[in-house]
Amino acid sequence: MDNSLEKPASGLNRRDLLKAGLILAGGAMLPSACTVAATGSSARSATAKSQVSGRRKLGTLEVSSIGLGVQNMSRTYQTLVPNRAEMHHIIRTAYDQGVTFFDAAEAYGPWEVERILGEAVGAFRNNIVIATKFGWNFDQKTGQRLPGVNSRPDHIKVVVDNMLQRLRTDRIDLLYQHRVDPAVPIEDVVGAIKDLMSQGKVLHYGLSEPGLQTVRRAHAVHPITAIQNEYSLIWRGPEADMLPLCQELGIGFVPWCPLGGGFLTGTIDAKTSFAPGDGRSMIPRYSAENMPHNLALVELIKSWGTRKGATPAQISLAWLQAQKPWIVPIPGTTQMAHMLENNGASAVRFTADELGQFNAEVAQIQIKGERLPQMVLQYSGVEAAPRK
């Protein structure tokens, strides 16, 4: 087994590793908070219909209506190492059940999740969309985490070549900038991506948690296929400005952490205490003070699940899909039962009246607490340096 899975990078103590993990986990900033490994999986999946139905468009890119986030398949935030063969089995079963959209990143592992995905999908590579992300600062020879972000054009090109090797493929279907680099003009970033496109190494690109003006500037250089931001019933921030911008420009939207770190599945209650190292213990909305208040949202979701014969997870994912036809959630999991259950959300439908009633009831519940620690939030909504 790769030693990188057994010990932190040189120079990081346990507390530093915790901080680094919060930041570097990326598109799902807190892996265990967005890849659920909770108890009660058999109960949650009891009513699941596991076949994904329908396809959606992210810009011009067609994908399954629900994707699979694979970010924790090398190591959970509690430092558990999932069985590699089982992770392959989950990925392959997801494909058998209609999933064609798989989301990874250089930062997950780092590097190891891309290897796991590449190992799993060889037999059907040409039938799926592989998304991955660059932008955090890794030494490309050692994998050591270096401070901050790095979107220098020369660095991007080296990163992509290494990604292709790990993924065992000749192209990346959707390449995201994981976080905006405030020191590099976005025009230079997109210019590097266009060079990679001309070589056939990248087919589409996107941005994750970007500033609004950076989106406009990037899109003017080359059309953006997708924006990947946190979005769920417990965090609806993108509705204020990012979703309208995507609508205006014809950009698809991919919500990360669509189940609110497991909170929206009903597996967390007021008595829940998080294991040492679980990133959710640092998130204000999951604090002992805020959790009891915020659980009113879960009770509402459960009641609608009973009404529609669906699990809370399925209601939460179906609600996201009901917002716009160009929204494709990517719930992450290392549990077969959860993956199959999540897929079943594609069969859950809201009528216009039901959606209106549900939204009105959700609007009565005010969520308390920030969505992430400030040390992580500082990397969201960043604008790239102006081009001189």
Residues 67 and 254 sit within 8 Å (Cβ to Cβ): yes
Count the neighbouring beta carbons within 10 Å of the beta carbon of residue 325. 12
How far does CA 323 lie from the centroid of its chain?
18
- The amino acid at 252: G
What are the backbone dihedrals phi and psi of residue 37, each rounded to the nearest 5 degrees, phi first?
-125, 45
Which of 233, 110, 118 is closest to 166 using CA atoms?
Answer: 118
DSSP string for 102-137? EE--TTTTTTHHHHHHHHHSGGGGGGSEEEEEE-EE
End-to-end CA distance of the chain: 47
Count the neighbouring beta carbons within 10 Å of the beta carbon of residue 196. 21
| H/E stretch holding 50 | none
Residues 160 and 114 sit within 8 Å (Cβ to Cβ): no
**Residue 75 and residue 25: Cα distance in Å, rounded?**
11
**Residue 90 and residue 88: Cα distance in Å, rounded?**
6
Burial class (CB in 10 A: 0-12, 13-18, 19+), 354: middle
What are the backbone dihedrals phi and psi of residue 163, each rounded to the nearest 5 degrees, phi first?
-60, -45
Task: Strands of 192-233 (E only): list them.
Answer: 202-208, 226-230
Indicate which residues carry an active-site annotation.
Answer: 108
Distances (CA, A) of 28 to 34, 52, 187, 234: 6, 22, 25, 15
| H/E stretch holding 161 | helix 153-167
**Residue 130 and residue 117: Cα distance in Å, rounded?**
9
Count the neighbouring beta carbons within 10 Å of the beta carbon of residue 208. 24
In the block, tokens 């620690």 appear at 373
